[in-house]
Amino acid sequence: MRLSDGEIGRAYEVKRIGNIGRAARRLEALGMGGHAVIRVLHKKAGGDMIIRARGTRWAIGRRIAEGIFVREAGK
Tens digit of pLDDT for each residue in 11-67? 999 999 988 888 888 888 888 888 899 999 999 988 899 999 989 999 999 999 999
So what's the pLDDT on residue 33?
A: 81
Strands 68-72 and 11-17: antiparallel
Burial class (CB in 10 A: 0-12, 13-18, 19+), 19: exposed
Q: What fold does the segment set 3-72 form as a domain? A: SH3 type barrels. (2.30.30)
CA distance 37 to 54: 7
> What does pTM read for this prediction?
0.88
* Residue 33 DSSP label: S
Domain limits of the chain? 3-72
